[in-house]
């Protein structure tokens, strides 16, 4: 007997990695904004070594640094 709570898995959705359509620059800007908002100072983000995974994910190296702006 089944409990009726089983869910079907949408294999096409899992295999289509939508992260590939998002630019790395956009992700860097978004992360930098979130960190800057949380800390209250300007930070920059650099992402390298991007490897997209089969199941709609990505592995990458992320570097967060304080932005130096001599005008502030």
Q: pLDDT higher for 56 or 66?
A: 66
**DSSP E strands, 1-72:** 43-52, 58-66
pLDDT band at 4 (very low <50, low <70, confident <90, very high): low
Task: Write the pLDDT tens digit of every residue in 5-47.
Answer: 778 887 777 778 888 899 999 999 999 999 999 999 999 999 9
- Cα(52)–Cα(2) distance, integer angstroms: 36
Give the model's pLDDT for residue 5.
73
Nearest Cα neighbor of 32 from 41, 23, 22 is: 41
pTM of the model: 0.72
Give the model's pLDDT for residue 2.
55
């Amino acid at each position: 007997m089944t409990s009726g709570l089983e869910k079907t898995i949408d294999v096409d959705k899992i295999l289509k990695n939508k992260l590939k359509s998002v630019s790395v620059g956009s992700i860097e800007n978004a992360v930098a904004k979130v960190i800057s908002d949380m800390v209250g100072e300007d930070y920059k983000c650099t992402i390298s070594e991007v490897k997209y995974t089969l199941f709609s994910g990505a592995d990458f190296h992320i570097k967060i640094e304080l932005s130096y702006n001599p005008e502030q």
